[in-house]
Structure 1
């Protein structure tokens, strides 16, 4: 099972990412729009992989990812952001993809990183 946590404050973008990842093999999903929601979702069900935006309406994706990894251990991370310069390295395995989303690159990157 590959449980994916999608941290994205734009519902339409989050839904699009979930649809792409589901077609690429993701089996279950949690969606969080804020840093705190993401941390709570990970506590309820630790993710196999995290897909996160950098800037959120409340908090940041990197801060949520740092907290989740500190609590649950190493987890593959893909940042999907329109602000790649705002990203601060928080996990050596993190990959940064730029918005607008290149569907093929996102799916291929997910397949490369997702646990099997």
Structure 2
């Protein structure tokens, strides 16, 4: 799949990641896929605040973040806003084995992230 395959979305992405360099890398990769605006949150509470202020079209989340987990953050957001396409970008994929979520292992492969985003969006359709 080409990196441009997700370009049609042109949406807003919420990046839940407590390591700023990784968050900026994910932001750049999503921008290359056509996402036009972003929020970056480093904790479950900040993620929920960002999502309630502007509902994301896509969420990427690390598993281990400040004050909890990305899974807790996503579950809190979805409890308020409903199901949102989500990709977990993590070095702790084993922690999400039973979560039935789309996962991309770190280090991040641009191609794998693009494929995972498309897979998450397709699940919503």
Shared fold (TM-score greater than 0.5)? yes
- Among 89, 92, 105, the residue aligned to 1:98: 105
The answer to whether residue 48 in structure 2 is matched with residue 39 in structure 1 is yes
Number of residue pairs the alignment of both structures matches: 113
Alpha-carbon displacement from aligned partner over 1:56-94 (angstroms, at most 9, x marks no partner): 1221100000010010011101000001111251xx5x3
Structure 1 or 2: more helix by fraction = 2
Please report the RMSD computed on the Cα atoms of aligned residues, expressed in angstroms.
Answer: 1.7
Structure 1 runs (4+) greater than 6 angstroms displaced: none
Residue of structure 1 equivalent to 2:114: 107
Unaligned runs of 5+ in 1: none
Please give the TM-score of this superposition, normalised by the length of structure 2.
Answer: 0.83
Alpha-carbon displacement from aligned partner over 1:22-55 (angstroms, at most 9, x marks no partner): 0101111000011110010001001111000001
8 Å contact from structure 1 (residues 52, 79) kept in 2: yes
- Among 56, 64, 81, the residue aligned to 1:55: 64
